[in-house]
Amino acid sequence: MRTRVGIVGGGPAGLVLAHLLHLRGVESVVLEQRSREELESEIRAGVLEQGTVDLLDEIGVGERMKSEGSVHHGVNLQFDGRRERIDLHELTGGRAITLYGQHEVVKDLIQARLDAGGEILFGARGFELHDLTTEDPKVRFETDGSSEELVCDFVVGADGFHGVSRGSIPDNVRVEYERRYPFGWFGILVKGPPSTEELIYAFHERGFSLVSTRSPQIQRLYFQCDPNDDVANWPDERIWEEMHARLDTDDGWTLEEGEIIQKGIVQMRSFVCEPMQHGHLFIAGDAAHIVPPTGAKGMNLAIADVRVLYEGLIEYYESGRKELLERYSEVCLRRVWKASRFSWWMTSMLHRFDEGEDFQYRMQVAELDYVVGSRAASTSLAENYVGLPMENLPRTRDRETAERSAT
Ligand code: DHB
């Protein structure tokens, strides 16, 4: 088997890249370990930045997102018995976020790829990457009990945090930065109407909680928990009691309950791998970096990575130049570190680190009070939350033309 771009991983990063390349006539093959059903049902985050929404729309997969997703122009911060709204729309010159589940994005992308005759191989296993510093890098894998080899011009590792791609960058080249947080998120999906029109991020003595949504019928709630806790310790009544304690306000607002249809615990870590490329291998999304979920940057970052990669690959295929591709890691990492900083900051401001540490608690309340009271601080939160602008990536040819006409 031979293709131009071999993409390991059929999550949002891999699928968006395959579709972008297809629209410019560059063929690729997506290799995915899971089945289509598993991919399409995995519940992950659901907040899309404005730039992500615009990109999905531009590549023709935005129809269901537009009809079923919901656009939010603000978010709420709740602390010290108050709830304050951050007006994202007004503070960012008209930008917003869209609530639409990641697995719905994946469903739309898989459908678009298959409708366009794209190749996605589900259920492939045992990936190994070879000859990455040559012109013919290869992915070896197994499918239906037989061993296969895909020879490519470039290999893209979009195979998540536990995938093999990152480890294929040699140890003496790769530097990994990591921070683990001493808590997790207990997430539930609830059948029932929303309690609030816009998300609530709440800081409370008992810990963080978040009220989000998936649709008018399905709600998504989270609360800070022990990372080693077990869902079995949390019968429904105990979950509702904890959520009410952290969220209900004195003015009579109370959290709507409903039928809990799923429970799970999310681990919290920050992780960045540098560089994000080696020879003809490029890694993207969770394979290269993890952010804690607070602020919902994960999928957005993954899609921003492949947008940069796409520009580099198209420049190469259209003009034979590798300058943009060579800058892939450098360009992506600037955004990655800024999103890592934002996610770390939101996490630090909104979680209880050490019960009984009253000074720390007061600092966090003061920070929240400052954020909601200062236009400068609210704007800083808002512009990061809706997504920093996408990098401007003039093609090398256009840069040279611009430089020539400037001299
Ligand atoms: C959701 C997840 C997040 O991490 C977040 O900050 C907001 C919302 C969600 O799953 O809906």
pLDDT for 143 equals: 95
**Neighbouring residues of 361: CB distance < 8 A, sequence distance ≥ 6:** 205, 352
C-beta of 335 in contact with ligand 1 (< 6 A): no
Mean pLDDT by 10 residues, the chain (407 residues): 97 98 98 97 92 97 96 98 97 97 97 97 98 98 96 98 98 98 97 96 97 94 97 98 97 95 96 98 98 97 98 97 97 98 98 88 97 98 96 71 74
**Neighbouring residues of 64: CB distance < 8 A, sequence distance ≥ 6:** 104, 108
User: What letter does residue 257 receive in the DSSP assignment?
Assistant: P
pLDDT for 198 equals: 98
Of ligand 1's listed atoms, the one at least distance from the Cα of 185 is: 4
Q: Shortest CA distance to 20 belongs to which of 101, 159, 118, 103?
A: 118
Tell me the DSSP string of 284-303.
-GGGTEE--STT--HHHHHH
C-beta of 296 in contact with ligand 1 (< 6 A): yes
pLDDT for 9 equals: 98
What type of residue is 348?
S
With the most atoms of ligand 1 within 8 angstroms of its CB, the residue from 203, 210, 286, 297 to mutate is 210
Of ligand 1's listed atoms, the one at least distance from the Cα of 99 is: 11
Residues involved in catalysis:
72, 201, 293, 297, 385
Round to whole Å and give the CA distance between 264 and 188.
7
Please give the distance, rounded to the nearest whole angstrom, from the Cα atom of residue 118 to the centre of ligand 1.
31
Please give the distance, rounded to the nearest whole angstrom, from the Cα atom of residue 32 to the centre of ligand 1.
25
Round to whole Å and give the CA distance between 189 and 301.
24
pLDDT in tens, 328-364: 999 999 999 999 999 999 999 999 998 778 999 999 9
Of ligand 1's listed atoms, the one at least distance from the Cα of 187 is: 10
Round to whole Å and give the CA distance between 166 and 8.
11
Of ligand 1's listed atoms, the one at least distance from the Cα of 44 is: 10
Q: Shortest CA distance to 85 belongs to which of 383, 385, 398, 372?
A: 372
C-beta of 78 in contact with ligand 1 (< 6 A): no
pLDDT for 407 equals: 66
Round to whole Å and give the CA distance between 239 and 222.
10
C-beta of 298 in contact with ligand 1 (< 6 A): no
Is residue 139 within 8 Å of 47, Cβ to Cβ?
Answer: no
Which stretches does DSSP call E strand in 117-246? 119-121, 125-130, 138-143, 146-151, 154-157, 175-191, 200-202, 209-213, 218-225
Q: Kindly report the CA angle at 276 between 24 and 322, in degrees rounded to 5? A: 45
C-beta of 304 in contact with ligand 1 (< 6 A): no
pTM: 0.95
C-beta of 293 in contact with ligand 1 (< 6 A): yes
C-beta of 220 in contact with ligand 1 (< 6 A): yes
